[in-house]
């Protein structure tokens, strides 16, 4: 099984340096954020090595667009190398368990093997134990 990591970000908080290499991210949005902060976090995800971003929660389609734009901006709106192209999806009409199942079983980059999944929890309080347990349950669920 892939390595699963958790990062709690309060809205407006500066994201930390990751240095983990290529990964997929599930952005769990529990709070509304400013468009400026969403763009800052999106650019941070791209610079940090995120190659597959799945957004779930309020305004998740805005996160999908924001990461797409950050990926384009990273390459001055020119050609993006296949191994740097960030896949994005949003999951606004499904339970979080289905988004987690998708992340565990379906989200694969066509050119880079992604062995790490980062849950980015955008909320006021830390929900590490809860979200890691939900991810684990979804990852082991049969459809």
Distance CA 135, CA 37 (A): 26
Q: Are 9 and 121 in contact (CB under 8 A)?
A: yes
Mean pLDDT of 110-127: 97
Distance CA 95, CA 67 (A): 22
Distance CA 140, CA 3 (A): 14
Please determine, for residue 98, whether its predicted confidence score (pLDDT) is greater than 90.
Answer: yes
pTM of this structure? 0.95
Please determine, for residue 5, whether its predicted confidence score (pLDDT) is greater than 90.
Answer: yes
Mean pLDDT of 83-89: 98
Report pLDDT for 1: 59
Mean pLDDT of 9-16: 96
Mean pLDDT of 56-60: 95
Q: Which helix (H) or strand (E) holds 100?
A: helix 96-105
């Amino acid at each position: 099984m892939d390595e699963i990591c958790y990062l709690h970000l309060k809205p407006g908080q500066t994201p930390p340096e990751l240095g983990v290499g290529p990964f997929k991210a599930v952005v769990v949005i529990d709070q509304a954020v400013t468009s400026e902060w969403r763009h800052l976090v999106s650019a941070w995800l791209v610079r940090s090595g995120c190659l597959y971003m799945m957004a779930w929660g309020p305004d998740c389609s805005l996160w999908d667009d924001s990461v797409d734009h950050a990926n384009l901006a990273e390459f001055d709106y020119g050609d993006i190398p296949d191994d740097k192209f960030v896949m994005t999806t949003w999951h606004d009409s499904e339970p979080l368990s289905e988004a987690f199942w998708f992340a565990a079983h379906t989200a694969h980059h066509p050119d880079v093997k992604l062995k790490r999944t980062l849950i980015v929890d955008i909320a006021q309080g830390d929900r590490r134990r809860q979200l890691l347990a939900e991810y684990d349950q979804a990852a082991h669920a049969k459809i």
